[in-house]
Structures are given as structure tokens and as C-alpha cells.
Amino acid sequence: MSKPTPAQPVKLIFSVLAATAEKLDETITKLTVLYGKPDFLSDPVTFDYTDYYCREMGAGLVRRFLSMEELVRPESLPDIKLATNNIENEFTLEGKRLVNIDPGYVSKANLILATGKGYAHRPYLRDGIYADLTLFYQNKTFCSLPWTYPDYADEKQLLMLDKIRTTYLLQLKAKDWNQ
């Protein structure tokens, strides 16, 4: 019989896509108000992996990743996704989003993103929110899965996420959360 134990806290991350650099900055400011100071903020980069968002948000989208200094409980992910949905709703024009926020977390074992869309590899959490197992950690690196979005499987993102994971592991060690 397994003995239930609480999950370790996790490293909160966000991917923010925006139609303009200004909207990107405004969104990051709102996330900082809600979740504290980031300990990592990527440079802005052009998002050109897919044209999925172009119809709604336009072309020439800009993206930044950030991770937050404060660790969170993994079970808080649905609340965080619902809060980011509210931010997205604040940044709409004529029913179209000007920003897209993908919240998730890095743990020792994986990268989980929150989504409102269910699928075979997305277990339901609560309140209309699902967990997307996007990457898993094995042999000292993040590894993609058949359903991993190409931008998350990109070598640059994998290296960035590995650095975020290293910071996370140091935080766990400093607070003695290793169990």
C-alpha cells in the first residue's frame, strides 16, 4: 500500500504571447502583482513556430518566458490558469485576445502546463482546467513527448527550462523540501 504524502512545491512559469511589446510588458506586470517577483525573464522573441494565433491576435507576435521566485503548491495550478484567463479577458479588443498566457510549473520530474482543453494525455484537475504533461525529465535533460508543442521541444527552450529547473532544485535544497 502506498502512503500518501504531500507533493513538493513547484516552480511557477509563464509563457506570454502578445500582439505588441507594450501588451507583453503590461501582462508581465499583472503577473508580478499576482505572483511576486520573477527570478527569470527571457528576452522578447518573435513567435514564429505556428500561425495558430494569427487569426485572433495578428501576425508578428512577441513572446517571453518567466519563472517566479516563490514556489507554489502544484494543486494551485487551476486557480492560476483561471486568473490568467481573466488577464487575457482584460486584454481583448472586439472579442479577440491581444495576449495569451500559458501558466505551468517545473518540478523535478516534468513540465506541466495548464489548459482548458481536454485530451487523452491531459487529466482533468478541476473547474474546467486540465494538466498537460508537456515534457518529462530523464537522463539530465527535459524530453519531449509525441504531443509536445514544437516550441517547447526546441533546444533553446529545453536549455532555458533546464536552467529554471536548476534554480528550482537549489530552492528546494535551501528550504529542505527534499523528501
Of residues 99 and 53, which shows the higher confidence score? 99
Task: Single out the residue of 68, 108, 60 nearest to residue 84, CA to CA.
Answer: 68
The answer as to whether 177 is a domain residue is no
Give residue 60's pLDDT.
83
**Residue 31's pLDDT is what?**
98
Position 48 scores a pLDDT of 75
Domain that holds residue 41: 10-170
Q: What is the DSSP annotation of 23-45?
A: HHHHHHHHHHHHH--EEEEPPPE
Query: What is the three-state SS of 85-126?
Result: HHHHHHCEECCEECEEEEEEEECCCEEEEEECCCECCECEEE
Assess if residue 1 is contained within a domain: no
Residue 5 falls inside a structural domain: no
Q: Which residue did the predictor score with more confidence, 92 or 14?
A: 14
* 93 within some domain: yes
Residue 50 pLDDT > 70: no
Other C-beta atoms lying within 10 Å of the C-beta of residue 79:
17
pLDDT for 179 equals 46
In a domain, 4, yes or no: no
Question: Does 69 map to a domain?
Answer: yes
- Helix, strand, or coil here: 20? coil
pLDDT of 178 above 70? no
Per-residue buried b or exposed e for 109-125, using 16+ beta carbons within 10 Å of the residue's own CB: ebbbbbbeeeeeebeeb
CA atoms of 73 and 104, how far apart (whole Å)? 11
| Cα–Cα distance measured from residue 65 to residue 14, given in angstroms and rounded to the nearest whole number | 6
Is the whole-model pTM more than 0.85?
A: yes
pLDDT, tens digit (0-9, with 9 covering 90-100), for 106-146:
999 999 999 999 998 899 999 999 999 999 999 999 999 99
- Decide if pLDDT at 53 tops 80: no
Domain count, the chain: 1
CATH number at residue 76: 3.30.70
63-71: average pLDDT: 96
Instruction: Report yes or no on 178 lying in a domain.
Output: no
Looking at residue 146, the DSSP 8-state letter turns out to be T
Q: How many Å apart are CA 162 and CA 77, to the nearest integer?
A: 21
Q: Does any domain span residue 38?
A: yes
Nearest to 113 by CA among 87, 152, 143: 152
Asked if residue 130 lies in contact with residue 116, where contact means CB atoms within 8 angstroms, the answer is yes
Contact 72, 80 (CB under 8 A): yes
Query: Which triple of cell numbers denotes residue 53?
Result: 494565433
| pLDDT at residue 2, rounded to an integer | 87
The helix/strand/coil state of 16 is strand
